[in-house]
Structure 1
Amino acid sequence: MRRDLSAALLLSAGVALAAPFEPRLLRARNIVDEIQESYDFVVVGGGLAGLVLGARLSEDSNHTVLVLESGGTGDDLRDRIDTPGYTYYQSLWPTALNWAFQTTPQAGAGDRQLVWPRGKVLGGSSAINGLYMNRPGEIEINAWKDMLGNMDGADNWSWDSFYAALKKSETFTPPSDAVAEEGGITWTSSSHGTSGPIHMSYPGYTFPQVGQWSQAMQTVGIANSHDTYGGQNWGAYVATSAINPTNWTRSYSRSGYLDPLPPRPNYDVLANAHVTRVLFDSSSPKANLTANAVEYTRDGGQTKLTVKVNKEVILAGGTVGSPAVLLYSGVGPKDVLSAAGVPLVSELPGVGQHLQDHLSVSVQWSTDQPTAGSIYAGDGPEKNDPVFLSFVNSATGYVNATAIFGAGVSEFQNGINGQVDQFTPKASSGATVVAGYKSIYSVTANKILTSPIGQIELLLATNAAGAIRITAALQHPFSHGQIYINSSNPMDYPVIDPNYLAHPADYTILREGLKLARRLGEADPLKNSMTAETAPGPDVQSDAQWEDWLRTQIGTEFHPSSTCAMLPLAQGGVVDANLRVYGLANVRVADASVPPIVFSAHLMGSTYALAEQASSLIRGFYNGVPSTGSSGGTTGGGSGDNASDGTGSASTSRPWTFSMALVALFAVKFLL
């Protein structure tokens, strides 16, 4: 809010006074430099999902838990992580906190190699991303559940179960009255959680264009949504962000699930520990191999270390990392492993397959109105104000196929259904992978395309000086890619081939989404903030001109998924409905690589829910409590059942209180 920052400045001043007593003084309590010889659970990856798993599993004092994270702690860059606005102005992409992956040259993108930033730090991509917190729709989640058939545990992935897990992970705070009025923000509190570790809220600062967004969407025929968080995730709205409104800092997996924890003797987190392989007991049955150790390195691969596993290995390395660990461990497609020189341990054709991603491109206008980017570039007093720096782009909308194609949806759908055989993976990928692709393709074409679910996401961006952008992002691609390896050295990056725009339907949907973005920028009242279209510019009008321009501009929206898909084994599945890797007795995967279809939402919120649900399943299994098909499982709604420390669960991410300050003072006196 630019009109009156006095109250907000008082708040930020209060936060500054409290800063020396923030929980970061005690952050090293479960982060260690040395580990034990063995643990019950070894979690591979200390990113978004991994820290959820570590926190929840270690609530049970009868189990020991280790999290291994390839990246560092992030402490040396914590101020940049914590400041929401720095995601635009002091991006962490050029730092060691980013894996800095690249794709293979993409024919659909003019043979360009596209950047794929992923977080390499405790907290993973939740530490470096754009902070969007929205949700998939009930239709999408139930479509996933239906793909599992009568598989044991399938009910754990119904909308009711997933919705409960979504709410369990979060604490929702409405916007201030002033921000709500200027931004045109509406919400339904009952759709949100109230005691979870991750803060879901709104920035403390906004712009008139945010309020104009929903009005302009109505002008072009897109209805406003008053609650996309309860399962109907379409329409125009202002999304929540992962921001702690008590001090305007990023709320991410580390700050929510690790930093607030008291010391737990059964829980260790080791940073700068790159997992190279999962090792298996050679005496275990070939069809049901038992993992008995995890191999890792702390010096770039020169020295190989191992930690023994008593119960399970849980992969949480994300859509790139989890399939890569399986492949380097000898678990995956036979042809890929043979070509890479990795001995086959367990043939599983679906590993790394079914890769799907959101693809985006923006229309841009010049503007003579103040934007977040121009204020920051102006180097005025607001530039360093925590309230101003809490602003992130959050005006969004999800547009369905009817809004894009009108009465032509059925004809478009028929064309897609007639093309499935042209775009299935090569037979060398395995018949099961082909079957899985056709299953996902059919669900996308026949359950999602014709539903109210968004096919295009539209986003308003004001973080550039003198410019306003509207981004269009493809949500349900028919083009699927693959992640594989081409060497036997686990220090080598995996190969990322998203196969962007291989299917013509993806190009058509994205092109029409861009036309809608242009119409939106020309609609009342948003057009009053625009002076001239600068990209692609008014000369681009025909479909052919859009295509020529679009292919030079597309990039990832940073939401890859599905490379360890939860599907039947006969459809190239990697995990079953209990997240167990087929053919392995005690290895699970629990991260964004699991859902077999991509969602019309940014993936952060759904990945928190997936990790919460995974934790409940695992704890229920080992504590003798059967899964109930809801996220409550054995952990409850964030109340910390069975917590080993007696102080509650990871959900203790509450506003910093006076009593906590006293604890910090005590720590300063005796630890410094």
Structure 2
Amino acid sequence: MQTYDFVIVGSGSAGCVLAERLSASGRFSVLVLEAGGSDRRFYVQMPLGYGKTFYDPAVNWNYKTEPDPGLAGNVDHWPRGKVLGGSSSINAMVWIRGHPADYDAWRDQGNPGWGFEDLLPAFKAIEDNEAGASRLRGKGGPVHVTDCTKLVHPLTGRYLEAAGQAGLSLNPDFNGETQEGVGVYQISTRDGRRMSAARAFLRPAMKRKNVRVETNALATRIIFEGKRAVGIEYEQNGASQTVRAGREVILSAGSINSPQLLQLSGVGPANHLKNLGIDIVHANENIGRNLEDHVGINYTFEGREATLNQTLRPWWGKLLVGMQYLLLRTGPLSLSMNAGGGFFRTDPALPRPNMQLYFQAFSTVKTKAGERPILTPDNWPGFSIGLSNCRPTSRGEIMIRSNNPRDYPKIVANAYSTDEDVAEMLAAVKFVRKIAAQPAMADLIVREVMPGPSITSDEDLILDFRKRSGTVYHPVSTCRMGPDPATSVVDPRLKVHGLDGLRVIDASIFPDNISGNTNAPSIMTGWKGAELVLADHI
């Protein structure tokens, strides 16, 4: 059995950072096990290519939830990256840290060192922000953050003007002094290519002699000696392999796969595991529970002016933007579908925004099977205003179905399962219509296509967003951090309660979800986690 100082399960947003940081000094050997394959694929590297990877089993786990009563009984599609870079290789690249108060709330729940000012140095060290360095922004870090202000579709300006007329201020930087307001999203790209965690961290680390990365290596079980994790069992090319961790096993497999692997290894809710014939190594009822996710919906409009629909739908348009991208690395294919956006409060009495906005200068009412219809939009001028909740109160769970590592776990999302979540979404969709009704946008709109002008009563609006809402791909908290083993899975140093030699370092440790997209906070968690690990192995 080969031995490495650190064995990292998962090469996602956090795992890539860990591999780079833990190997940088040359003192420690690092093995990374990734269930997927290489990220050197055209549609992974091309930013708008995530429309092609949305259902692609070569790079995507393609999880499905259980039928959700909160979503009118619908089964929700949960894409998760199964590739070097994890979900950072197939996401929409919007670079949002979250509201500072989110992290202060983590700290105040008994997690010292996790307040915003504690984490700000990590965020700054990660960034190479095109807008330059400041007290809050970093320059020269591994992740290049692109300012898209001059690159987005001109229709974005109409959206920003209308949102201002509806009462929202213009915000040039959602990661700056304030989060509230509307503006153009910054994205994690560089020179027209996706800046995934693999590109920023793992690829440089792979050049070192003390780093080994195994792809197509599915971790099947954590190996324990008593209460200490000492290695990982994994399958690769049809054969079972084992590897030993001389110092620590680190799970960075994400909010679905980290709790799954713990449960398969006998760590989790005791009765559930016993019923599946799994011997208990350590009982903890929280593993897989406390699942939080952001849920969103789009309102779609037909416009009087050309949108990206007229560029991306016809064959000649595809040819044009394709040549533009291949030759110059510019144009629509070099960007995210989310051009503008913002944050607002559904109730002025709230201390911080509770809703996130997304503006898309195209529409996709008619979908194409097997593909997210970014590259095949509607044949009429259309655009969408989307939104998602920032801090939902609904909670779900992720539980293994069997003791077979290849069986997908049961995902119970429980979207809109609280009155609070329903009430704030109702207020939020009404505000979207308020934006659309402002002079800057009203003259542009021919009609509201989805849900349509016949949907007006509160009851109909609620039924509509139950039918049409879905995840915005930010599941967290299934191995949540906290000081009390009765309510959490890992301690503030990300060590699994009750066990030795084992940490979880990924978005599953978030005590609560953050206000915004989760990729930047996941990368930060990898950076912070590496600091904690290194401090214990000086």
Asked if these proteins are the same fold (TM beyond 0.5), I'd say: yes
What do the CA deviations read for 1:409-428 (whole angstroms, capped 9, x no partner)? Answer: 5xxxxxxxxxxxxxxxxxxx
TM-score (norm: length of structure 1): 0.74
1:65 pairs with one of 13, 30, 46: 30
Aligned to 1:115: 77
Q: How does 1:624-663 map to 2 (within 5 A)?
A: none
CA contact (8 A) 1:362 1:514 kept: no
Q: How does 1:116-515 map to 2 (within 5 A)?
A: 116-148=78-110, 154-174=111-131, 189-203=134-148, 205-230=151-176, 232-244=178-190, 247-261=191-205, 263-282=207-226, 289-299=227-237, 302-378=238-314, 379-380=316-317, 382-384=320-322, 385-386=324-325, 387-388=330-331, 389-392=333-336, 393-403=338-348, 450-452=350-352, 454-464=353-363, 465=377, 466-515=381-430
- Structure-2 separation of matches of 1:117 and 1:193: 30
What do the CA deviations read for 1:2-47 (whole angstroms, capped 9, x no partner)? Answer: xxxxxxxxxxxxxxxxxxxxxxxxxxxxxxxxxx811010000011
CA contact (8 A) 1:162 1:610 kept: no
What do the CA deviations read for 1:181-226 (whole angstroms, capped 9, x no partner)? Answer: xxxxxx9854221111111113463222222222211211122224
Q: CA deviation at 1:600?
A: 0.8
What do the CA deviations read for 1:275-313 (whole angstroms, capped 9, x no partner)? Answer: 01101013xxxxxx11111000014xx532100110000
CA contact (8 A) 1:43 1:68 kept: yes
Where 2:274 maps in the other structure, the secondary structure is helix
2:13 paired with 1:48: yes
Q: CA deviation at 1:111?
A: 1.3
CA contact (8 A) 1:93 1:128 kept: no
CA contact (8 A) 2:346 2:428 kept: no
- Structure-2 separation of matches of 1:372 and 1:169: 33
Q: CA deviation at 1:587?
A: 0.4
Aligned to 1:86: 49
CA contact (8 A) 2:54 2:79 kept: no
Where 2:47 maps in the other structure, the secondary structure is coil
189-198 or 508-517: which moved more? 189-198
Where 2:535 maps in the other structure, the secondary structure is helix
Q: CA deviation at 1:542?
A: 0.6
CA 1:339–1:523: 2 relative to 1, 3 Å: farther
CA contact (8 A) 1:277 1:294 kept: yes
Aligned to 2:491: 576
1:97 pairs with one of 33, 49, 59: 59
CA 1:223–1:516: 2 relative to 1, 3 Å: same
Aligned to 1:622: 537
What do the CA deviations read for 1:353-405 (whole angstroms, capped 9, x no partner)? Answer: 110000011111012322223211132353111211223223111112424xx
Q: CA deviation at 1:92?
A: 4.1
- Structure-1 separation of matches of 2:30 and 2:49: 33
- Structure-1 separation of matches of 2:232 and 2:146: 38
Q: Which is richer in strand?
A: 2
Q: CA deviation at 1:526?
A: 2.6
- Structure-2 separation of matches of 1:208 and 1:294: 52
- Structure-1 separation of matches of 2:177 and 2:151: 28
CA 1:126–1:315: 2 relative to 1, 3 Å: same
Alignment-mate amino acid for residue 516 of structure 2 = A
Where 1:313 maps in the other structure, the secondary structure is strand
Aligned to 1:20: none
- Structure-2 separation of matches of 1:597 and 1:65: 30
2:522 paired with 1:607: yes
What do the CA deviations read for 1:597-656 (whole angstroms, capped 9, x no partner)? Answer: 111110011111111011111112211xxxxxxxxxxxxxxxxxxxxxxxxxxxxxxxxx
321-330 or 524-533: which moved more? 524-533
Where 2:387 maps in the other structure, the secondary structure is strand
Alignment-mate amino acid for residue 85 of structure 1 = L
CA contact (8 A) 1:296 1:305 kept: yes
Where 2:239 maps in the other structure, the secondary structure is coil
CA contact (8 A) 1:42 1:67 kept: yes
- Structure-2 separation of matches of 1:232 and 1:141: 15
- Structure-2 separation of matches of 1:607 and 1:503: 27
CA 1:374–1:198: 2 relative to 1, 3 Å: same
1:536 pairs with one of 451, 468, 481: 451
- Structure-2 separation of matches of 1:340 and 1:456: 40
CA 1:566–1:127: 2 relative to 1, 3 Å: same
What do the CA deviations read for 1:498-527 (whole angstroms, capped 9, x no partner)? Answer: 111111211111121111111112213133
Over the residues paired in the alignment, what is the CA RMSD in angstroms?
Answer: 1.7
Decide which structure has the larger Cα Rg and report it.
1
- Structure-1 separation of matches of 2:21 and 2:133: 28
Alignment-mate amino acid for residue 292 of structure 1 = V
CA contact (8 A) 2:99 2:515 kept: yes
Alignment-mate amino acid for residue 60 of structure 1 = S
CA contact (8 A) 2:302 2:382 kept: yes
- Structure-2 separation of matches of 1:105 and 1:537: 26
CA contact (8 A) 1:126 1:604 kept: yes
CA contact (8 A) 2:506 2:522 kept: yes
TM-score (norm: length of structure 2): 0.92
Q: CA deviation at 1:235?
A: 1.7
Q: CA deviation at 1:456?
A: 1.2
Alignment-mate amino acid for residue 126 of structure 2 = S
- Structure-1 separation of matches of 2:74 and 2:2: 46
- Structure-1 separation of matches of 2:422 and 2:535: 45
CA contact (8 A) 1:339 1:486 kept: no
What do the CA deviations read for 1:121-144 (whole angstroms, capped 9, x no partner)? Answer: 000011011111011111111011
Where 1:342 maps in the other structure, the secondary structure is coil
- Structure-1 separation of matches of 2:343 and 2:179: 7
Where 2:58 maps in the other structure, the secondary structure is coil
- Structure-1 separation of matches of 2:241 and 2:66: 31
- Structure-2 separation of matches of 1:485 and 1:574: 17
- Structure-2 separation of matches of 1:160 and 1:318: 25
CA contact (8 A) 2:18 2:527 kept: yes
Where 1:363 maps in the other structure, the secondary structure is strand
Where 1:502 maps in the other structure, the secondary structure is coil
Q: Which portions of structure 1, spanning 4 or more consecutive aligned residues, are displaced by more than 4 angstroms?
A: 187-190
- Structure-2 separation of matches of 1:614 and 1:482: 24
CA contact (8 A) 2:152 2:339 kept: no
CA contact (8 A) 1:241 1:394 kept: no
Where 1:133 maps in the other structure, the secondary structure is coil
Aligned to 2:372: none
Q: Which is richer in helix?
A: 1
Where 1:296 maps in the other structure, the secondary structure is strand
Alignment-mate amino acid for residue 47 of structure 2 = P
What do the CA deviations read for 1:572-595 (whole angstroms, capped 9, x no partner)? Answer: 200000000001111001111111
- Structure-2 separation of matches of 1:135 and 1:231: 12
Alignment-mate amino acid for residue 221 of structure 2 = R
